[in-house]
Amino acid sequence: MNVAVVGATGMVGNVMMEVLKERSFPITQLIPVASEKSVGKVIDFGSLKCPVVSLETAVQMKPDVAIFSAGGETSLEWAPKFAAVGTIVIDNSSAWRMDPDKKLIVPEINGDLLTENDKIIANPNCSTIQLVMALAPLHKLYNVKRVIVSTYQSITGTGVKAVQQLENEREGISGEMAYAYPIDKNCIPHCDSFLDNGYTKEEMKLSNETKKILDPSIRVTATAVRVPVVGGHSEAVNVEFERDFDLNEVRKTLHETEGITLKDDPTSNMYPMPRYAQSKDDVFVGRIRRDETQENTLNMWIVADNLRKGAATNAVQIAELLVKKGILKAGQTSAQFSA
């Protein structure tokens, strides 16, 4: 089928194309879409030579599916235009996540909600995805009441500019700054912009998106921190349940959950770290232990590659699920809009 990747020249866009190849998604034509300055650039996609096109051109080509990773403003303007010609849009920005008429999907958790009426589908925030992947199976067993999460987020979540800043600082080179402060040998408790309530947008995404995906009654409070790491986000998570739990059952449940790798043996220094998660699709969970200060409360440590499961892989998995359910079919736009 014909697949457009909007934001193809960005970090997430590049990973999206890698994941599409790795997972052998059925592609007849890849349509890389980027800003005007990149139009005409040729991208190699397996045996295909794919010229970058503009958004206007991509809409006219009526792809079967368009996977967006080009920022919220672009998504708000262009996703409806793609949907209007029959293209199913999977959007990686925050533009549609909290829209009550749009589904916010992690396939392993709530993919069953997707129907033929869903023309614009939202991909959750990277930090939210890894959090809910670990919470979902435990919520079914014990009912999550409250979550306290502190994130340790990779600079790749900010983009190429942040990676360049870190590299410049480590080489002693002055250059453009993605952050207000140096990131090397530093931690910056500032992910996205601050809101009137004192929290950042990133912190509120964790709260609001978790409620929408899992359960609106769950209370979530977050502190999001940028750290000088390339290749994965980490989260220290404290979870209060309505019912008591058995640690062996917790470990067994997580071990048996699709998309999760349990890495939890402190006696042999086995626990999740970004260097293990980098370029992998699973969410890694470890440091599982009871909170000894409060009843029915668990501590755990969650790590995932924010560009993979946190963004590109989850989006491609949504597309795969749409194909499996018969919602996404090759040639659907040309057949539907042939007139």
pLDDT of residue 338: 37
Taking residues 71-77, report their average pLDDT: 96
Per-residue pLDDT band for 214 (boundaries 50, 70, 90) equals very high
* Positive or negative torsion for Cα 93, 95, 98, 101: negative
Taking residues 195-203, report their average pLDDT: 98
Taking residues 284-297, report their average pLDDT: 98
> pLDDT tens digits for 103-120?
999 999 999 999 999 999
Residue 337 scores a pLDDT above 50: no
Question: Which one-letter DSSP state was computed for residue 120?
Answer: E
> pLDDT tens digits for 177-196?
999 999 999 999 999 999 99
Share of the chain above pLDDT 90, in %: 96
pLDDT of residue 329: 87
The total of other beta-carbon atoms located within 10 Å of residue 66's CB is 30
> pLDDT tens digits for 17-54?
999 999 999 999 999 999 999 999 999 998 889 999 99
Which active-site residues does the annotation give?
126, 233
Per-residue pLDDT band for 333 (boundaries 50, 70, 90) equals low
The packing angle between helices 11-22 and 313-324, to 10°, is: 40
Identity at 58, one-letter amino acid code: A
pLDDT of residue 336: 47
Q: What is the pTM of this model?
A: 0.95
Bridge partners for 262 per DSSP: 285
DSSP-assigned states of every residue in 301-338: EEEE-TTIIIIIHHHHHHHHHHHHTTSS-TTHHHHHT-
Residues 6+ apart with CB under 8 A from 112: none
Residue 134 scores a pLDDT above 90: yes
Share of the chain above pLDDT 70, in %: 98
Taking residues 165-175, report their average pLDDT: 97
Identity at 329, one-letter amino acid code: K
Query: How many residues are given for the chain?
Result: 339
Identity at 82, one-letter amino acid code: F
Taking residues 74-100, report their average pLDDT: 98
Dihedral Cα 25, 70, 203, 253, nearest 10 deg: 0
> pLDDT tens digits for 239-256?
999 999 999 999 999 999
Taking residues 148-175, report their average pLDDT: 97
Taking residues 193-206, report their average pLDDT: 98
Domains located in the chain, CATH noted? 2-95+312-336 (3.40.50.720), 127-305 (3.30.360.10)
pLDDT of residue 231: 85
Share the mean pLDDT of the chain.
Answer: 96
Residue 304 scores a pLDDT above 70: yes
Between CA 330 and CA 16 the distance in angstroms is 19
